[in-house]
Amino acid sequence: MSDTKSGDDKTLSVTPKKTLTLKRPGTEQSVVRQNFSHGRTKQVQVEIKKRKFSMPGDKPEPVAAPVLTPKPAVVAAPVVQEAPKAPPPPPPVERSGMVLNELSRGEMEARRRALEGSKVREVEDRQRAAEDAKRRAEDEERRKREREDSARRQAEEEARLQTEAESRRRAEEEARRRAPLAAELATVDDEEEAKPKRPGAGAPVRRPVTPEVARPAKPTKAEEDRRRGKLTLNTALSDEDARARSLSSMRRRQEKFKRAMHNEPREKVMREVILPETITIQELAQRMSERAVDVVKYFMKQGQILKPGDIIDADTAELVATEFGHTVRRVAESDIEEGLFNIADNAEDLVSRPPVVTIMGHVDHGKTSLLDAIRNANVVSGEAGGITQHIGAYQVEKNGQKITFIDTPGHAAFTAMRARGAQATDIAILVVAADDSVMPQTIESISHAKAAGVPIIVAINKIDKHDADPQKVRSELLRHEVFVESMGGEVLDVEVSATKGTNLDKLLEAILLQAEILDLKANPDRTAEGVVIEAQLDKGRGPVATVLVQTGTLMPGDILVAGNEWGRVRALVNDRGEQVKEAPPAMPVEVLGLQGTPQAGDRFAVVNNEARAREITEYRQRLAREKAVAKHAGQRGSLEQMMSQLQTSGLKEFPLVIKGDVQGSIEAINAALDKLGTDEVRARIVHAGAGAITESDVSLAETSGAAIIGFNVRANAQARAAAVAAGIEIRYYSIIYNLVDDVKAALSGLLSPERRETFIGNAEILEIFDITKVGKIAGCRVTEGKVERGAGVRLIRDNVVIHEGTLKTLKRFKDEVAEVPGGQECGMAFQNYEDMRVGDIIECFRVEMVTRTL
Ligand SMILES: Nc1nc2c(ncn2[C@@H]2O[C@H](COP(=O)(O)OP(=O)(O)OP(=O)(O)O)[C@@H](O)[C@H]2O)c(=O)[nH]1
C-alpha cells in the first residue's frame, strides 16, 4: 500500500480536493476503489509507469505495471512494425509521458527518423572501427618490418666485422710467419690498440642483437592498452609522448654523466689574486674562487689549525695562493691614496697661472713691512681701507697679472710645507737689509730656497737709510753662491724701501719676469689640488683652513681631503672676506666645512665621494698614530739609525746640518768633512751656519733627513723640543777632530765590510766510526797547521768541496778539546752532516768580517 505523499513519490501532492496537479513524466495515474470487509471501501490512487523507448527489433514488453491494481494496465505495443521509412529524424519533441498506442503520426514519424539516424550512425561506427583495426594492423606490420630491418642490418654489420677481424688475423699470421720478432711486437701493438676500441666497436661483435633481443623487453603502458583494445587518440598520442619523454630523459642523463665526468678533473680558473698587507682566510678564498674550507684544510695539512675568519699576513697568503695555482699581486695599504694627487694633465689643457711668492730673510730686515707695503699698494680690489681680513695669503695685481703672496714671513711655513712634501712656493724673495747685510738667517734662507730648488729674487731693503750699502749685500751674497745680475749672475735683485714704498713696482715686475721664465701653468678644468697654508679652529665658524689652490678649481660642495681631515666645502672666502663661487689655480681661499683642523703644509685634494674621503683620512690618521709611537721610541734621526737606513737604501750621501760658534770654525769643519769624501760615500752639508741651533735648523734637518751637529753651540729650548718631536738627533762637539772622527765612522759604516778568510789547517780522515746515538765520527790525523773547534770546516774529496759547515765535536781520545796541533790524531764530527769517507780531507778555516775605514 502506498500513499501518494509518501515514499519516493516526487510528484507534488495530488489529492481529489485539489485541482492543480503536476504529473511525474512517464507515469499515468488513475484512481481505483478498494472494498474491505464490513462494507468498508477506500479509494486508492494508482500510478502506471511506462517504458520510454526501445530499440527496434526488441520484443515489445509492458512499459510499466500498475503499482497496485487488480486489472492489467496498458501494454506497450511494438514500435518497429509500424515505423515507415522517413527522412532524417527531427529533434525529439515529445519523449516521455506517452504510451505507443497513443502516439500521433508526427511522433511516429519522428521516432522512425530517429531509428533511421541511429542505424546510419551504427553503420558509420562499424566502418570506423574496421578502419581503426586496419590501421592498427598496418602499424604493427610496419614496426615488425622495421625491427626485422634493424636486425638484418646488425647481422650484416656483425658479419662485416667478423670478416674484417678474420682478414686482420690472417694478415697478422702472415706477418708473424715472415718476421717472428716483428710479428710479436705487432701483435702487442695490435692488442693494445684493439683494447680501447672494444667497448665501442666490439659491442655488436660480442653481443649480436637478434630481432627478439632488439624487441623491447617490456611493453610500454600504451602498448598494453593497445593490446587490450583500448586504443584511443589519447593513448596513441601518449605512446609518442612516452617515447619523446624517454629520449629527453636519456639525453639529460647523458649530459649529467658528461658533466660529472668533466667535473672530476675540473679545469681550474687561474686568477690574479690581489693581496693587501693582511687578509682573512675567507676573503682570500673568495678572491681565489676557492672554498674557504679547502684553504683551512691546506693549513691543517701544514699543521696549523685556523678558522676562515682568521687573519693571515700577505706572505702566507701569497704562499697559499701560489699553492692553489693562482698568481698574486701585492698591494700596500697606501694604495688607498693612489690617484689622489698628481693626476697628469694634458699639455693642451694647461693655462698660465699666477706665481706664488714667499718672503724670507733675517730678523728685522723688513719682511713684514715689505709684505704690508705691497699689499696696501697693490691689493687686487684697490678698495679703500685696504684689507678687511687677514687669511695668510693674498693676491696683488700688476699690469693685469696676478701675483700670490704667502703672508707667512720667515721660513717656518716654508719648511713646514716642505716637510710635508708640499711645495707651494714658486719664487722666494730674499729680504736683506742694506744697512745690516747678510746675516745668519739670510744664509739659512738661501739654504732653504736652494734645497727646495726655488729661484731667489733679492730685495735689498731699507735703501732709504743713510748707512745702506747695497753693494756690500751683493758681494756678501756671492760668498753664499747667490750671484746677482749686477755681479754677473742670474739672480734678480731690486733695491727697495718698505717704509717709503720705493721700487715696489720694480720688485713686482721682477717677480713677473721670473714667473715668465718659469712658465707656470695649471689646468683649471679639473678637480682641485693644493696645499694648506694655515688652519685654525674658529669659535663661530668651526675649522677654517686657508688653502692655496695649485691646480684645478675648488668649488663649494666639493669633498676635500686635507692631511688627516676631510670635509665638504661649505663656503669659500677670499682674502677680502668675500664669499666666492670658485677658486682657480694660485688663488688663496679660506675653506669652511672641514671636519677637523689640518696642519699648515698639508696637501689637499678633491675626491669623488665621502666614502673615499673617509677611507683616506682614516688610513692617514692610523698612520699618524703609528708614526707618533715610532717617534716616541726615538727610532728616527739618530746617527746609527741613519747609517742603517742609508745602508739599506743604498744611499751613499750623509746629509748634515752644521751649526758652529763662529764662521771660521764652520769653514774648518766644512773643509775637514770635504776631505773625507770618496767615490763611494761623502758627507753632504745641507746647511752650515754660525749661531745657536734653532727650530728652523731642526725642520730643515727633518725635511732633508739630515743629522744636526752643533760645534760649541747649543740648541735653544724650542729647537730641542722640535728635535724631540721630530726624532732628530743633535750631537754637540767642542773638538773638531772628534767631530770629524764621528762623521768618518758614520761614513765608514756606509762602506760594506770585507769578508776575510784565514786558513788554519788540514786533517785527513783515516777511519770512520759509527757510534750509536752519536752518529758518524771521523778518525783523522792533522796533516797541516792545526784544527780548532768552532772554526769553519770544509770536507774535500778529490780536491772538490763536498760540504761546508761547522764542527760538532773535536775529540782527542775521550776528551773534548779546543784545538789539535799538527801531526796528532783526533775525532771530528760535522754539524748536520755524516757523509764522510776515508781519505777525505777536512779543511779548517776562520772567517773575519773586516770593517773598512776611510
Ligand atoms: N728705514 C726703514 N726701515 C724699515 C724698512 N723696512 C722695515 N723697516 C723697519 O725695520 C723694522 C723691522 O721690520 P719688520 O718688517 O718687522 O721686519 P721683519 O723682518 O718682518 O721682522 P720679524 O718679523 O721680526 O722677522 C721695523 O721697525 C720697520 O719699521 C725700510 O725700508 N726702511
> What one-character-per-residue DSSP string does 460-491 give?
EE-TTSTT--HHHHHHHHHHTT--BGGGTSSB
Pocket of ligand 1 contains residue 464 by CB under 6 Å: yes
How high is the pLDDT of residue 129?
Answer: 87
Given ligand 1 and candidates 358, 359, 368, which is best to mutate, with the most ligand atoms within 8 Å of its CB? 368
What is the Å distance from ligand 1's center to 507 Cα? 17
Task: Give residues with Cβ within 8 angstroms of 544, minimum separation 6.
Answer: 535, 536, 537, 538, 590, 591, 592, 594
How high is the pLDDT of residue 201?
Answer: 36
What is the Å distance from ligand 1's center to 497 Cα? 10
CB 780 within 8 A of CB 765: yes
- Interface confidence, given as ipTM, is 0.97
How high is the pLDDT of residue 647?
Answer: 54
- Residue 790 annotated as lining a ligand binding site: no
How high is the pLDDT of residue 100?
Answer: 45
How high is the pLDDT of residue 150?
Answer: 82
Q: Whose CA is nearest to atom 30 of ligand 1?
A: 462
Tens digits of residue pLDDT in 593-636: 998 888 877 889 998 888 888 888 888 887 777 665 554 444 44
Alpha helices by DSSP H, listed for 705-819, are 717-726, 736-750
Task: Answer whether 353-521 and 637-750 agree in fold.
Answer: yes
Q: How far is the C-alpha of 564 from the C-alpha of 624, rounded, in Å?
A: 8
- Residue closest to 560 by CA, chosen among 606, 591, 600: 606
CATH of 353-521, one of 3.40.50.300, 3.40.190.10, 3.30.70.1560, 3.40.640.10: 3.40.50.300
* CATH placement of domain 272-330: 1.10.10
How high is the pLDDT of residue 691?
Answer: 81
Q: How far is the C-alpha of 162 from the C-alpha of 156, rounded, in Å?
A: 10
Strand 542-551 relative to strand 529-538, pairing: antiparallel
- Residue closest to 657 by CA, chosen among 691, 620, 612, 623: 691
Going along 786-840, which residue ranges are E strands? 787-788, 792-797, 800-812, 815-816, 819-820, 825-830
Q: Whose CA is nearest to atom 8 of ligand 1?
A: 366
Q: How far is the C-alpha of 270 from the C-alpha of 48, rounded, in Å?
A: 96
Q: Which cell goes with 305?
A: 689549525
Distance of CA 472 to the CA centre of its chain: 65
Distances (CA, A) of 4 to 42, 72, 415, 605, 846: 14, 20, 127, 109, 140
Pocket of ligand 1 contains residue 372 by CB under 6 Å: no
Pocket of ligand 1 contains residue 365 by CB under 6 Å: yes
Query: Is residue 730 helix, strand or coil?
Result: strand
CB atoms within 10 A of CB 24: 15
| CATH class for the region spanning 529-628 | mainly beta
CB 696 within 8 A of CB 415: yes
Given ligand 1 and candidates 365, 369, 696, which is best to mutate, with the most ligand atoms within 8 Å of its CB? 369
How high is the pLDDT of residue 610?
Answer: 86
- Residue 597 annotated as lining a ligand binding site: no
As a 3-state breakdown, the chain gives helix, strand, coil percent values, each rounded to 5, of 40, 25, 35
pTM of the predicted structure, to 2 decimals: 0.45
- Residue closest to 347 by CA, chosen among 523, 114, 225: 523
Pocket of ligand 1 contains residue 462 by CB under 6 Å: yes
**Domain ranges across the chain:** 272-330, 353-521, 529-628, 637-750, 754-850
What is the Å distance from ligand 1's center to 461 Cα? 9
Q: How far is the C-alpha of 436 from the C-alpha of 363, rounded, in Å?
A: 11
What is the Å distance from ligand 1's center to 169 Cα? 120
Phi, psi at 563, each rounded to 5° = 60, -125
How high is the pLDDT of residue 580?
Answer: 92
Mean pLDDT in order along the chain per 10 residues (854 residues): 42 48 58 73 73 52 43 41 46 44 69 84 87 88 86 82 79 65 43 41 38 46 51 54 66 76 65 80 88 90 84 85 87 68 78 90 86 74 42 82 77 58 81 90 85 90 92 91 87 92 92 92 90 82 89 93 90 88 92 87 87 83 67 46 54 80 79 77 81 84 85 85 85 83 77 73 91 86 89 86 86 87 90 88 84 60
Q: Which cell goes with 735?
A: 773638538
What is the Å distance from ligand 1's center to 502 Cα? 14
- Residue 363 annotated as lining a ligand binding site: yes
The yes/no answer on whether domain 637-750 falls in CATH 2.40.110.10 is no
Distances (CA, A) of 246 to 236, 260, 852: 16, 21, 89
Residue with cell 727646495: 452
Q: How is domain 754-850 classified at the CATH fold level?
A: Elongation Factor Tu (Ef-tu); domain 3 (2.40.30)
Pocket of ligand 1 contains residue 445 by CB under 6 Å: no
Q: Which cell goes with 89?
A: 529524424
Distances (CA, A) of 609 to 331, 550, 560, 606: 22, 21, 9, 9
Distances (CA, A) of 583 to 111, 487, 555, 586: 109, 41, 7, 8
Pocket of ligand 1 contains residue 369 by CB under 6 Å: yes
What is the Å distance from ligand 1's center to 516 Cα? 29
What is the Å distance from ligand 1's center to 375 Cα? 15
Q: Whose CA is nearest to atom 12 of ligand 1?
A: 364
User: 841 has which bridge partners?
Assistant: 764, 796
- Residue 425 annotated as lining a ligand binding site: no
Query: Is residue 103 helix, strand or coil?
Result: coil
- Residue 4 annotated as lining a ligand binding site: no
Q: Whose CA is nearest to atom 27 of ligand 1?
A: 364
Pocket of ligand 1 contains residue 585 by CB under 6 Å: no
What is the Å distance from ligand 1's center to 433 Cα? 9
Sheet harboring 730-733: ordered strands across?
682-690, 653-660, 707-711, 730-733
Given ligand 1 and candidates 364, 431, 503, which is best to mutate, with the most ligand atoms within 8 Å of its CB? 364
Q: Which cell goes with 652?
A: 751613499
CB 782 within 8 A of CB 793: no
Q: Can you state the angle between helices 281-288 and 314-323, rounded to 10 degrees?
A: 40
What is the Å distance from ligand 1's center to 370 Cα? 8
Determine the residue type at 161. Answer: L
Phi, psi at 583, each rounded to 5° = -125, 105
Q: How far is the C-alpha of 601 from the C-alpha of 406, rounded, in Å?
A: 12
- Residue 364 annotated as lining a ligand binding site: yes
Is the alpha carbon torsion for 341, 342, 346, 349 positive or negative? Answer: positive
CB 674 within 8 A of CB 697: no
Q: Whose CA is nearest to atom 7 of ligand 1?
A: 366
Pocket of ligand 1 contains residue 367 by CB under 6 Å: yes
Distances (CA, A) of 480 to 450, 475, 716: 11, 9, 25
- Residue 367 annotated as lining a ligand binding site: yes
How high is the pLDDT of residue 12?
Answer: 47
Distances (CA, A) of 32 to 2, 158, 352: 13, 93, 134
Q: How far is the C-alpha of 676 from the C-alpha of 656, rounded, in Å?
A: 14
Pocket of ligand 1 contains residue 412 by CB under 6 Å: no
Pocket of ligand 1 contains residue 497 by CB under 6 Å: yes
What is the Å distance from ligand 1's center to 363 Cα? 8
Q: How far apart are the first and last CA of the chain?
A: 149
Pocket of ligand 1 contains residue 362 by CB under 6 Å: no
Q: How far is the C-alpha of 810 from the C-alpha of 825, rounded, in Å?
A: 11
- Residue closest to 828 by CA, chosen among 773, 769, 760: 769
- Residue closest to 591 by CA, chosen among 523, 522, 538: 538
Distances (CA, A) of 745 to 634, 654, 671, 676: 21, 12, 17, 10
